[in-house]
Amino acid sequence: MDTQQGTGRAALTSAPRLTLSDRPPPAEGRVHDAVDLASGRIHTTPVHRPPAAGTRLQRLREVGFAADASMLTAAKYRLTPKHPYQASPKAWLDAFFNSTIGAGSPDDYFGTYGAGTGDNQIWWRVPPTFGTFEFWATCNASFSGLRAGPAVLALSFEVWPYQDATGAVVIDVGAQQTEIQITQSGARTVDVGFVHNGDPVLVAMVLLRPGIYDFVFHSVHLHRG
């Protein structure tokens, strides 16, 4: 899926056995992760519902990110599978699936992109090993015109590890990385506080380490105070 030049109509390669009527299993719980990218500190809290903006800001402050009180009131950039391109300020979402990576039948692993009514997600089933590759690439979000200074990248996704395994979701923002360890399934809201250096295009990548079985992406928002 490459949406920079398109208007949102795109699809990943899908295994023949998969249809958009299929769904991943229910997640076991919901979690909020607050991340200070510069220090690598992460605060993870089980929650019953997506946390309010004030709670999210407080948790960012607790990990050392100086979040402004108005920072999460409105997102400057919003990207979803249903709306993967934004004209102003310009931003776009790219998603990837490489059927040559990993062991096993190609039908066992897939990527499917759904943006119809009631279906706004990208779902990957991931092989247990990646051969010579360190990561499994899921999606990149590119943001144009973000001025220098503090910002918050907010991700919404669901994730399931292989049984008795620990995987990791790796978030790379402007070539700085943080890793969230995954030991059980869950729906996660991840807020990454960082300071943008003023580059004209900021790229945020979501990568997986071995140990993740299913990964479902829902949205990425970028907030600027």
CATH of the domain at 155: 2.60.120.260
The answer to whether position 1 is within a domain reads no
Number of independent structural domains in the chain: 1
Tens digit of pLDDT per residue, the chain (225 long)? 544 434 333 333 333 334 444 566 777 899 999 999 999 999 999 999 889 999 999 999 999 998 888 888 778 999 999 999 999 999 999 998 876 665 454 456 667 776 555 678 999 999 998 888 899 999 999 999 999 999 999 999 999 999 999 999 999 999 999 999 999 999 999 999 999 999 999 999 999 999 999 999 999 999 987
The answer to whether position 10 is within a domain reads no
pTM for the full predicted model = 0.86
The answer to whether position 18 is within a domain reads no
Structural domain boundaries, residue 69: 30-100+110-224
The answer to whether position 22 is within a domain reads no
Per-residue 3-state assignment (H helix, E strand, C coil) for the chain: CECCCCCCCCCCCCCCCCCCCCCCCCCCCEEEEEEECCCCEEEEEEECCCCCHHHHHHHHHHCCCCCCCCCCCCCCEEECCCCCEECCCCEEEEECCCCCCCCCCHHHCEEEEECCCCCCEEEEECCCCCCCCCCEEEEEEEEECCCCEEEEEEEEEEEEECCCCCEEEEEEECCEEEEEEECCCEEEEEEEEEEECCCCEEEEEEEEECCEEEEEEEEEEEEEC
The answer to whether position 23 is within a domain reads no
The answer to whether position 86 is within a domain reads yes
The answer to whether position 8 is within a domain reads no
The answer to whether position 146 is within a domain reads yes
